């Protein structure tokens, strides 16, 4: 039978709308202050992130793509045939394509994404290119277990794909929780292919989060623009500066918005005073060793069964199993 295009209807698990105001008020009341990095990705933030991935200093995307391309034959050997590929986030870019093209005939592809718009746009882009793969998008929050739609052809097993070292944006406790949920989502015979940025020369890492063109600084400050627009806060974008430092002992980039002078900010009728130089934490980006990532996986009941690194050991892909 010739392959058919089988774009399935969206499975909408109706993720709870975010309580942005509540989270921001909690973060501004904490000491030291913090804001959640998950709110970076409005339309402008997503565009700016795309630009970051093309900046010369930001190596992770380029290195992971080259690694995926070079390792695809060996990844395809390690992953059982006829997989139901489940991507965390709305993949439709080069990494998704490389995986779907390189694996031994995947039967279905499910992107899991909290934004309906981003989700539908991604499957639309893939439908024409992969007519033989059933597309089963799910609108849900992937940080919890996600019940998967059943492909019409029996899959060999589920393969969760979580590239980009997005796991590094979670604290270790939250990353463990996420991996635990992933284990439930993939089931006892499932596998997961996870991209991780590796610990390396701090100067290289710091440069990646402080690009000379200032795109990362714009990306960080866009968080305040989004909050002003969406929850009516009055952050003065010129009153804060981007600062990203690599903290070796914690193996992570810590990104802050630093108050340039004494100022007040009002959010939902509450006033918050910032001292000059006061730093508000806005993002973590963890870098891993085999030991630290292995421990994270083990805490979630998963084992690293295969590993692929680029020739300089800058970035890794890890295949996990329960
Ligand atoms: C999406 N995430 C893996 C990026 C990272 O490297 O932590 C987000 C980012 N933040 C600043 N630059 C890139």
pLDDT beyond 90 at 174: yes
Q: Give 34 Cα–ligand 1 centroid separation in angstroms.
A: 17
Q: Helix or strand or coil: residue 108?
A: strand
pLDDT at 7 over 60: no
Is the shortest distance between the CB of 163 and ligand 1 below 6 Å? no
- Cα distance between residue 34 and residue 42, in whole Å: 19
Supply the pLDDT for residue 8: 59
Distance 285 CA to ligand 1 centre (A): 7
Q: Give the mean model confidence (pLDDT) for residues 242-267.
A: 98
The proportion of the chain whose per-residue pLDDT surpasses 70, expressed as a percent, equals 98
Report the C-alpha gap between 117 and 139 in whole angstroms: 10
State the pairing for strand pair 270-274/303-309. Answer: unpaired
Q: Are 303 and 297 in contact (CB under 8 A)?
A: yes
Distance 9 CA to ligand 1 centre (A): 31
CA of 105: how far to CAs of 5, 84, 259, in Å? 15, 10, 53
Query: What does the alpha-carbon distance between residue 99 and residue 317 come to, in Å, rounded to a whole number?
Result: 12
Q: Nearest C-alpha to atom 7 of ligand 1 is from which residue?
A: 285
Helix axes 215-231, 20-29, angle to 10 degrees: 110
- For 260-293, write each residue's pLDDT tens digit: 999 999 999 999 999 999 999 999 999 999 999 9
How large is the average pLDDT for residues 106-124?
A: 93
The CB of 165 under 6 Å from ligand 1? The reply is: yes
158 bridge partner residues? 84
What spacing in Å lies between the alpha carbon of 219 and ligand 1's midpoint?
A: 10
Whether the per-residue pLDDT at 39 is higher than 70: the answer is yes
Whether the CB-CB separation of 268 and 209 falls below 8 Å is answered with: no
- Supply the pLDDT for residue 1: 43
**Whole-model pTM?**
0.96
Burial class (CB in 10 A: 0-12, 13-18, 19+), 22: exposed
32: left (phi over 0), alpha (psi -120 to 50) or beta: beta
For residue 32, cis peptide bond before it (omega within 30 degrees of 0): yes
Q: Is 222 in the pocket of ligand 1 (CB under 6 A)?
A: no
SS3 204: helix
Look at residue 92 in the predicted model and tell me its pLDDT.
73
User: Residue 5's pLDDT is what?
Assistant: 44
CA pair distance 111, 142, nearest whole angstrom: 10
- When pLDDT is averaged across residues 125-134 and rounded to a whole number, the result is 93
């Amino acid at each position: 039978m010739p392959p058919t295009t089988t774009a399935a209807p969206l499975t909408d698990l109706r993720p709870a709308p975010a309580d942005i105001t509540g989270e921001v008020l909690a973060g501004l009341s904490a000491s030291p202050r913090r804001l959640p990095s998950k709110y970076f990705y409005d339309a402008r933030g997503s565009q700016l992130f795309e630009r970051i991935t093309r900046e010369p200093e930001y190596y992770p995307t380029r290195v992971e793509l080259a690694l995926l391309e070079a390792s695809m034959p060996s990844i395809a050997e390690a992953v059982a045939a006829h997989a139901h590929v489940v991507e965390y986030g709305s993949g439709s870019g080069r990494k998704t394509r490389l995986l779907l093209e390189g694996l031994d005939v995947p039967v279905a592809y499910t992107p899991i994404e909290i934004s309906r718009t981003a989700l539908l746009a991604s499957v639309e882009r893939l439908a024409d290119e992969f007519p033989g793969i059933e597309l089963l998008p799910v609108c849900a929050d992937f940080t919890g277990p996600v019940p998967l739609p059943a492909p019409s052809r029996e899959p060999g097993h589920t393969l969760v794909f979580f590239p980009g070292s997005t796991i590094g944006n979670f604290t270790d406790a939250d990353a463990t929780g996420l991996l635990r949920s992933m284990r439930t989502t993939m089931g006892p015979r499932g596998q997961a292919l996870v991209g991780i940025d590796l610990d390396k020369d701090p100067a290289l890492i710091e440069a990646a989060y402080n690009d000379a063109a200032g795109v990362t600084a714009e990306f960080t400050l866009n968080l305040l623009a989004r909050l002003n627009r969406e929850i009516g806060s009055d952050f003065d974008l010129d009153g804060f500066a981007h600062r990203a430092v690599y903290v070796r002992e914690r193996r992570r980039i810590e990104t802050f918005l630093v108050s340039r002078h004494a100022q007040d900010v009002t959010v939902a009728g509450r006033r918050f005073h910032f001292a000059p130089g006061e730093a508000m934490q806005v993002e973590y980006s963890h870098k891993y060793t085999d030991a630290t990532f292995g421990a994270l996986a083990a805490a979630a009941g998963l084992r690293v069964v295969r590993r692929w690194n680029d020739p300089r050991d800058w970035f890794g892909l890890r295949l996990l199993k329960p």
